[in-house]
Structure 1
Amino acid sequence: MGNTQSPGVNPRYTSAVRAFSDAEISDLKSLFASLAGDSKYVSLSVFKDFTGIKGALGERLYDIVTQNRKDDKLTFEDLVIAKATYEKGTRDEIDEFLYQLCDVDGDGHLVRSDLEAVISEILDNISLGKKSESSSDSELRPISIFLDAAKFTKDVEGSSDRSMSLEDFKTWCRLVPSARKFLVSLLKPSSTGSQVPHLIHQEDIDTNILLLKEEYAWHIGGALSHQELGEWKLLYHSALNGLSFNTFLGNISNAEGPTVLIIKDREGYIFGGYASQPWERHADYYGDMKSFLFQLYPTASIYRPTGANTNLQWCAVNFTSDSIPNGIGFGGRPGHFNLFISANFDSGHTFTGPTFNSPCLSKSNHVYPEVIECWGVVQKGAQQEKPDGVKGTVLERFKEDRNMLNLVGLANSSN
């Protein structure tokens, strides 16, 4: 006779339930009961409190979950159906859900004003910069650096505005992964934890000199795991320590884990790289696929490794071969790095390349650093002591491997 559906049972709900285990359904029932109380429904105001999103983005999420009924009655079935897509769906299904969510007007066109409202609410929610609520301070929120990473290529009939296609949106999520990470956490806020690392530095430092503002740390952290979002410690700052390669290497020598290198050049551009491995003397590229490049100003974007090659991290100290440029860098090839700062710390370059599929990170290919700073990522659960055999600064370890390098004619002839 074929399958028949009992009267009053939503087939979407029946299908959605299959995505969850019995224990998960039990947890969802407990969650719904805690929100609805004695009612059969969850109101908009309660839902906003649950998600922590008070503005248009919260209202749009409520509309999507309630299937646009506009009746202020979110049911248990609604919650199961939404979570089945939002949490159990494929990557494409989740992206489609988020794409519709960011269309805060709900008119089918994700235009610039929609995305601006989304970014504004995200920054408000994570309390970046602890800004006051005055209009002048609100205008200081760095909305444009995230907004300008987006492309709007789709024509809107009857309007001069252009909207984002789904592919435009997916590209933006890759460039600003912190925004996607935030959006996918809205229906499960209890499991998110802080999305902004705690920045540690000397108490007497004037924080105005620091390049790594909270919004930048949030942006970079979007490409990292929860274990890497605990504490970031300032290891080197050129305004405090001088523009010195040797001082830089000495200051970061005790960094056991990854580091975040940030550069502000004379053009005012701010960019850098996440180094997954310690900065150590090598005659060639090293590192792993966890490293990436980023832009912070005037546009915020993340560029992860593409797998096109393994030319990831570079740290050359006191080499005399022209084929081994002294300095630190990422990607590309020697002499044509995706990002490179020479050992004199007063110049460098940035070129496009396939390693990270990154553009030129500054206004031009030539880089003249004005400020350089480096933060150590204190990974949660990491051991506090270095393994035996990893001792001293990069320059001190250079002396230990001097004899080996002399054999291949690469070591400097002087100490």
Structure 2
Amino acid sequence: MGNTDSVIVQKRLSHFRPDERPVIEGVFDRLLGAAPATSEKTGKVLSLGTLKVTMGEMASESMINRVFQGIHSIDPGVPLPSGGGVCREQLVIFLADILRGTAEERAPLVLAMAGGEKAAAATAEQIRGFVEDLVSSTVQTLAHRGHLRGWQPDRMGDGPQGIKVLAEQLTSEIKSSDQNACDVPCLEDWCFRIPTMAVFLELLIGEGLGVGLPSNPPPTLLPQCQCVPWRDLRCLLNLPLLMFLSPQLPAGHSAPWRLLFSTNIHGESFTRLVGNCKGRGPTVLLMKDTKGHIFGGFASQSWEVKPQFQGDSRCFLFSVFPFMRVFTYTGYNNHYMYLNQGQQTMPNGLGMGGQHGYFGLWLDCDFGHGHSRARPSCTTYGSPQLSGDEDFKLDALEVWGVGQPPEEQDQDENKRSILDADPEAQAMIEMTGKTLHSQGLREPEEND
């Protein structure tokens, strides 16, 4: 397989299981077999042209150039070939650092891919350009490899806009120097704090170069989507937004997303909104105002019509455009969610955060109007004004169910034995001296 005595390579290969190492070492020969030039095969180097042939359907040309720069920047500890190609050792180290590396190992590669092979630092603008290329190529890879999980990008929101906004959000976390420069320590800190970057790189390189490791399946970046009338829908969500928003949901919210309400399908009716969303489990609410701002909130519990606040501290507000951010519970008050209708003494509408008359997000029961009054910020979530105007006009609204529907939870409970559902009943039976015949006839619950 052309194994090497390079100490650096052997150290990197130790990141993989013994049965995985031949796979990593074999990538070079496999790519060499697809090389377009005969001289490349005889010279035992991989060129930029090889990567373009291999990754062309999953990444933009600029991203492929960046990947080649990253591989070519590596010092493998052995003599490098002439002619400008990359050798086996460089590729093995690159794969190890991208797929299994630490933030310390990935940071120099990010710098090379963003600022150039010999750059000592990159500007914030160069890093943002790299991240835009990476997010765009990740979306392209998801589509090409069939990892869309039921979503249909052609019936969804502005993908290119979502890519730019997500890239801005990710790079906003960089702590650059006063000179707006990002060196290796800066990027190491960023890679450590923002694991999303590693996941995107892992998907792109793993899928783009066809590195199939049984213990390293492609990361799941999108929630599953079910039962959506795509032919009639033009939804506000886009793939970059889903890639950002889905990991923000609390643990356990991995149920398929399902559309509960859309003005595009159900019209502008507050009564219809309440009827479709009440008692349907956790939801994601998404609004677009007539100024083009897109924002919303995550409701951790089922919406119920009542004159009191509801929900818990897992709720949050978020902005999608013109900036992408999540705003979580501050601890100031418990005004997480509010839904009321048909009352004369209490506000009628749907709200999240703040207080009556000054919600972080509010939709009035007349449906066409709402407000986001947060001066200087929403007390419950710390969010700024999310809408274009403080009092906004609604352009579109969607509500997505993101947790297990209550009726399915009830069915699961009904399937359980009374001995599981009520431990006290089990204790009473044992105290009477009766035998628990069913205990020997069924498998124990996994969570017992």
TM-score range, shorter chain: 0.5 to 0.7
Equivalent in the alignment of 1:238: 263
Q: Which amino acid counterpart does residue 98 of structure 2 have in structure 1?
A: Y
Aligned in 2, Cα 1:180/1:86: closer, same or farther, shift over 3 Å?
Answer: closer
In the alignment, the residues of structure 1 paired with residue 16 and residue 330 of structure 2 have an alpha-carbon distance, to the nearest angstrom, of 35
Which segments of 5 or more consecutive residues in structure 2 lack a partner in the other structure?
A: 35-40, 75-79, 144-151, 414-448
In the alignment, the residues of structure 2 paired with residue 73 and residue 167 of structure 1 have an alpha-carbon distance, to the nearest angstrom, of 27
Equivalent in the alignment of 2:24: 28
Q: How does 1:309-348 map to 2 (within 5 A)?
A: 311=334, 313-318=336-341, 327-332=349-354, 336-345=358-367, 346-348=369-371
Query: Does residue 370 of the first structure (1) align with residue 390 of the second (2)?
Result: no
2:200 to 157, 161, 182: 182
Query: Does residue 115 of the first structure (1) align with residue 128 of the second (2)?
Result: yes
Tell me the SS of whatever aligns to 2:205.
coil
Equivalent in the alignment of 1:103: 114
Equivalent in the alignment of 1:85: 97
Higher share in helix: 2
Q: Which amino acid counterpart does residue 246 of structure 1 have in structure 2?
A: T
In the alignment, the residues of structure 2 paired with residue 374 and residue 125 of structure 1 have an alpha-carbon distance, to the nearest angstrom, of 26
In the alignment, the residues of structure 2 paired with residue 224 and residue 240 of structure 1 have an alpha-carbon distance, to the nearest angstrom, of 26
Shift of 1:248: 1.0
Shift of 1:307: 6.9
In the alignment, the residues of structure 2 paired with residue 344 and residue 94 of structure 1 have an alpha-carbon distance, to the nearest angstrom, of 56
User: Which stretch of structure 1 is more off in the superposition, 97-106 or 180-189?
Assistant: 97-106
| Conserved 8 A contact 1:311-1:333 | no
TM-score w.r.t. the length of structure 2 is 0.61
| Conserved 8 A contact 1:86-1:97 | no
Shift of 1:243: 3.4
Query: Does residue 17 of the first structure (1) align with residue 13 of the second (2)?
Result: yes
2:160 to 141, 152, 173: 141
In the alignment, the residues of structure 1 paired with residue 228 and residue 199 of structure 2 have an alpha-carbon distance, to the nearest angstrom, of 27
Q: Which amino acid counterpart does residue 252 of structure 1 have in structure 2?
A: C
| Conserved 8 A contact 2:305-2:339 | yes
Shift of 1:361: 1.6
Equivalent in the alignment of 1:65: 71
Equivalent in the alignment of 2:273: 248
| Conserved 8 A contact 2:115-2:122 | no
User: Which stretch of structure 1 is more off in the superposition, 162-171 or 108-117?
Assistant: 162-171
Q: Which amino acid counterpart does residue 123 of structure 1 have in structure 2?
A: S
Equivalent in the alignment of 1:280: 304
User: Which stretch of structure 1 is more off in the superposition, 304-313 or 277-286?
Assistant: 304-313
Shift of 1:265: 1.7
Shift of 1:263: 0.7
2:372 to 330, 337, 349: 349
Tell me the SS of whatever aligns to 1:186.
helix
TM-score w.r.t. the length of structure 1 is 0.65
Equivalent in the alignment of 2:424: none
| Conserved 8 A contact 2:309-2:335 | no
Equivalent in the alignment of 2:232: 205
Shift of 1:100: 1.7
Query: Does residue 44 of the first structure (1) align with residue 48 of the second (2)?
Result: yes
User: Which stretch of structure 1 is more off in the superposition, 338-347 or 260-269?
Assistant: 338-347
Q: Which amino acid counterpart does residue 204 of structure 2 have in structure 1?
A: L
In the alignment, the residues of structure 1 paired with residue 24 and residue 397 of structure 2 have an alpha-carbon distance, to the nearest angstrom, of 48
Q: Which amino acid counterpart does residue 86 of structure 1 have in structure 2?
A: I
Tell me the SS of whatever aligns to 1:23.
coil
| Conserved 8 A contact 2:295-2:320 | yes
Shift of 1:171: 7.5
Q: Which amino acid counterpart does residue 319 of structure 2 have in structure 1?
A: Q
Shift of 1:387: 1.1
Query: Does residue 259 of the first structure (1) align with residue 283 of the second (2)?
Result: yes
In the alignment, the residues of structure 2 paired with residue 331 and residue 180 of structure 1 have an alpha-carbon distance, to the nearest angstrom, of 33
Shift of 1:314: 0.9
2:410 to 379, 387, 397: 387
Q: Which amino acid counterpart does residue 202 of structure 1 have in structure 2?
A: P
User: Which stretch of structure 1 is more off in the superposition, 238-247 or 328-337?
Assistant: 328-337
Aligned in 2, Cα 1:35/1:333: closer, same or farther, shift over 3 Å?
Answer: farther
Tell me the SS of whatever aligns to 1:362.
coil
The root-mean-square deviation of aligned C-alpha atoms, in Å, is 4.8
Q: Which amino acid counterpart does residue 63 of structure 1 have in structure 2?
A: Q
